Structure 1
C-alpha cells in the first residue's frame, strides 16, 4: 500500500480525519460568521482567525492543550469547558476520541498533532488555491518538511544549485520515543474572502521551487471527490455576513478554494 493509502487507513481508522473535519466545519463557520469587510476585515484577517479557531477546535476534539484530560477522567467542569465558544449543536456533533489517541507535537514553531507515526501540521492557502502554495515562501520548518522524500519517491536534494542550503531546523522525521521515523503531513485549509469558498485537504508536501505541484499526493477531507486533480466546482448555499455584519442573505459558494499563518 502506498503512503496515501496508509495514512488514510490509519488516521480514518482512529477517527482522526473525522476530528479534522469537525474542527474545520466549526472553525470555518465561526470565522465566516464574524467576518465583516466593513470593519476592515480582509483575506489576512480571515486566514489568521480561521487558523486560530482551527487550532482551538483541534485541541478540543483531540483532548490536547488546555483541553487535556486523563483517559478515565470526565467532569461537569470539563464538559462546560468543551462547550464554551461553540455554536449550537457543535458540541453534540463533536467526535468522541479517547484522550491520548492524538497528542500535541509541534515542530519548531509550527503547530502539530500526532497519531502514531503520523504528524500533521497546518497550512493555509486561501485565495491562491490548494495548488498555488509555494513552500519556498514558507517558514524554514515547512520548507524542510516539503523537501523530505515521500516513501514512494526518491530523496530530494536540499542543496539545489539555485537555492543554497536551507536553514537548520528540527529533524521532522526523528522520534526517539517511538523508535521509528515520523511521517509529517499537512492539513491545508482555506477560505477565500472574495468568494466564500472553503476547503480542507490532507497531503504530503513536495518542494516546488520550479513551479511544480506543491503536493506528492493530496486528498480532500471536507467532501467526496477526485482528489488528485483540481476539484470540480460544487455549489453550496451558506449564510455569509453582509458588509454590515449581519447574516441577511445567502450566497452561492463554489468549493474549493487564507493567508499564510507564518508558522
Structure 2
C-alpha cells in the first residue's frame, strides 16, 4: 500500500516537472494545483478507485488502456500490482481520502523544505479536525490537566462529538519545480497552534521505509539506557585448515 502511495506521488511529480515552464507562465500555484490533481488521479489508478475501478465483466484490455493512459513507460513498468480491494476511497468533508484496514489518509501540500512546520491552524477546517485527533503515543500532559474531573468530562464529551469516523493520517508532499526536489511523508499531524512540531510522528516514504513491516504506527524510540541483557554464548568455528587432525573416518 505504501509503495502505491510512493508510486502515485513520483508519477505525478515527474509529469509536473516535465510540463513545467516558467516561460509559459507556470508559477507556484500551477505547480501546486497540478501536482495535487495528478497525485489524486494516480492514487485512484494504483488502488483501482473511482473511474479506475475494475467492474465485473469489463474487458481487460479496455481497463488497461484507461489505467495506462498518459503514463510514461517508466510509470507503467513500476506501477505496483495491487489487489483492487486493498484500498477504497474514504473522502472526509469533501477532502479526497483513501482508507486501508480502518485507517484513512488525506493529502496536504507544503512549501518545499517546510513539511516539519506545516501550519495546521491555517489549513482547512477538515485538516484542523484531523490534527486534533488524540495521538497514538502515550498520553502527554495537556493544557486541561488543572480542570476538575467534571470539567474534563464535559470537555471529553464535547470532543467526542467531533470524533472522526476513521483514524486519519495525512500524506504530506512538496516539490521544488526549479531544482526537482521532492518530499513525501505519512504521519499523524499535530495541531501546532502554539508552535512546535507539526507532527506527532511521521515517516519519510522516499528515503526510509516504515519499520515493523510497513504498519502505520509511531516509530519506536531508541533505548536511552545501556542494554543489560547478557549476550548469548557463541562458539567460533576454526577454518578447516586449522582443525586438529584426529584421524580419518569412514575409510
TM-score normalized by the length of structure 1: 0.68
Map 1:1-263 onto structure 2 (within 5 A): 16-70=1-55, 75-127=60-112, 129-154=114-139, 171=162, 173-174=164-165, 182-224=166-208
Alpha-carbon deviation of 1:226? 10
**Structure 2: unaligned runs, 5 residues or longer:** 145-158, 212-218, 220-251
CA offsets 1:125-180 (integer angstroms, 9 cap, x no match): 12352112100010101001101111324389899xxxxxxxx9x95632xxxxxx
Q: CA RMSD, aligned part only?
A: 2.8
Q: Which has the higher contact order (CA 8 A, sep 6+)?
A: 1
**SS of equivalent to 2:117:** coil
CA distance in 2, matches of 1:136, 1:60: 31
Residue in 1 that maps onto 2:242: none
Alpha-carbon deviation of 1:72? 8.2
CA distance in 2, matches of 1:202, 1:87: 26
CA distance in 2, matches of 1:29, 1:122: 18
CA offsets 1:25-79 (integer angstroms, 9 cap, x no match): 1000000111111122111111111110000000000000100114786611001
Asked if the contact 1:43–1:192 (Cα under 8 Å) also holds between the matched residues in 2, the reply is no
Larger Cα-atom Rg: 2
**Structure 1: unaligned runs, 5 residues or longer:** 1-15, 160-167, 175-181, 229-263
Structure whose residues are more often helix by fraction: 2
